[in-house]
Chains A and B, each alone.
Chain A
């Protein structure tokens, strides 16, 4: 690695520059051009692009776990949703008296359920400084506990994939229940303010887009730095030959746990950025299908490259937006067919089509 910003890999640099350009140009176009102009990005488009950026961040975090460490996690959406719920709880408490029922403390759904008191786990979420660490802690603690149990017992391969899938499914069922106190199947919505600013206003939408872009760029650089450290190489080694790593004296479970928890926190952050931009979080975010979709993004973009996950997430979601608008019934077929075709004909995804440029001489 030459430096943090310029790597030996040309494609990674191009993707990084494109992200920077996107983060700067979209808000600029939104500000400069009048709304009638073709170059103007409406608040809707800005939020849509912001949503893609959070998905790219989510894909990036899965790539660390799957592409680098070889853990095919089929429940990664759970961490995204937990981060989202943490942010959603903060936004919910910001509504205050402006809710339909006008209760200063209790969110609407609690009044509707005839609850008299705020459950203890909602305490503190009226403060941003409390909600922000929760965005990392909630998914991080879950990933730590789950990973510690699973990796220490040396659960690997398809068994681990199935358990992660079961984990997110169980969480979905739990969050569907009204008694859980997270709004049941309606989830959390009807947000008004974020940090005192109107969440619907165009300026806030642009700001959220820029924060998403900057976060993605930062996460990309951080993930790339990690992949270039010795830890990154051990993690890759675990993927390729776990037993060998163990007999070299490394505690494989600790490395898996480290990367799994880190990725879960990144996914949580992605969820926290996603929720204010789409305005709702509900238990369907925990659905196994969502987690599978993340795997498809990364597979299509090309795993083990970081930028592949970003490209994959953005392209697939753009395709989803276009196709579900035009021909909603064929979207799932298209996604499935693309996944099959990519797996069969491009096992390294879109990134695999590019000539590999790495620091190593290969002759």
Chain B
């Protein structure tokens, strides 16, 4: 180990851009750092020394056979599961392992569940209102009033997700596809830096899949988006870069064509 003083790669603190702790720093172009993350459930290694980097503003697709650890990965990033080892950073400075789910969500990492999860007894408008970026304490919520700018924001997301005419409807009676879009809309209301989208097109018709692809493509650049999906056609239509997970670690990364021609990927998906 080198002494810090004679380390030729050492950057002295006064040369660095000052960063407030807790403030998102993406000066190195990477927004999510996962390094050597391992999670095991009763001896089963759901994630095995997984390392993954997501660039700021990119749209990344995660694929992999069942049990590859895709959902566990999302659980780790959003604070639902604490890994046994490894580190998870949001930008350069924010250690996600020290935060719980609400804190991570407030910091700007939002998640769409595999099963569409909207509040069925509330209207579409109210669903979006609850998701809106705001002070999320109990007392502020008691005295919260919807201002004009909030309404405008909700209208904007209703337009983006194509749900304007369903605004007053109960979310429970929306179609499956509409619920998926509403949940993506709820993510947008939180003004997220990172959107984790778990199986957005499962159970959708072809037209709905095309619309979802359009929606996600229109959001890339404004947000960093990680999509987990099984539908290869859909992944091909949106992905620049695909990461393949297998048995809890990254098997390979690249464009869809590179990945699909990789013999290891073929083996994993098709077996011996």
Residues of A within 8 A of B (CB): 226, 229-231, 233-234, 236-237, 240-241, 243-252, 254-255, 257-258, 360-363
Number of A-B contacts (CB under 8 A): 87
- A237-B130, A362-B173 known; A247 vs B123 contact (CB < 8 Å): no
- A246-B102, A247-B101 known; A361 vs B169 contact (CB < 8 Å): yes
Asked if A240 and B121 make an inter-chain contact with CB atoms under 8 angstroms apart, the answer reads: yes
What count of chain B residues pass the 8 Å CB interface test?
A: 34
CA distance A281 to B7 in the complex (A): 77
Asked if B117 and A250 make an inter-chain contact with CB atoms under 8 angstroms apart, the answer reads: no
Asked if A244 and B121 make an inter-chain contact with CB atoms under 8 angstroms apart, the answer reads: no
CA distance A246 to B129 in the complex (A): 15
* 4 A-B pairs with the lowest CB-CB distances in the bound complex, closest first: A249-B105, A231-B141, A230-B144, A249-B106
Residues of B within 8 A of A (CB): 78, 80, 101-102, 105-106, 110-111, 113, 117-123, 126, 129-131, 136-139, 141-144, 168-170, 173, 186, 190
Asked if A229 and B190 make an inter-chain contact with CB atoms under 8 angstroms apart, the answer reads: no
**Residue from A229, A233, A361 having most chain B Cβ neighbours under 10 A:** A233
Asked if B141 and A229 make an inter-chain contact with CB atoms under 8 angstroms apart, the answer reads: yes
CA distance A243 to B119 in the complex (A): 11
- A230-B129, A254-B137, A360-B169 known; A240 vs B119 contact (CB < 8 Å): yes
Asked if A236 and B122 make an inter-chain contact with CB atoms under 8 angstroms apart, the answer reads: yes
CA distance A234 to B130 in the complex (A): 7
- A231-B141, A231-B142, A234-B130 known; A244 vs B170 contact (CB < 8 Å): no
Give the chain A neighbours of B113 by CB distance below 8 A: 243-244, 247
Give the chain B neighbours of A254 by CB distance below 8 A: 137-138
Asked if A244 and B169 make an inter-chain contact with CB atoms under 8 angstroms apart, the answer reads: no
Q: How far is the CB of A362 from chain B (nearest CB, A)?
A: 6
CA distance A250 to B119 in the complex (A): 14
Give the chain A neighbours of B168 by CB distance below 8 A: 360-361
Which of A240, A246, A257 is close to B101, meaning CB atoms less than 8 Å apart?
Answer: A246
Asked if B170 and A240 make an inter-chain contact with CB atoms under 8 angstroms apart, the answer reads: no
10 residue pairs from A and B, CB less than 8 Å apart: A233-B126, A234-B138, A241-B119, A248-B190, A251-B102, A254-B138, A255-B138, A258-B138, A258-B139, A360-B170
Query: Do most interface residues of chain A lie in helix, strand or loop, or is the interface mixed?
Result: helix
Asked if A251 and B141 make an inter-chain contact with CB atoms under 8 angstroms apart, the answer reads: no
**Residue from B102, B143, B186 having most chain A Cβ neighbours under 10 A:** B102
Q: How far is the CB of A3 from chain B (nearest CB, A)?
A: 15
Give the chain B neighbours of A251 by CB distance below 8 A: 102, 136-138
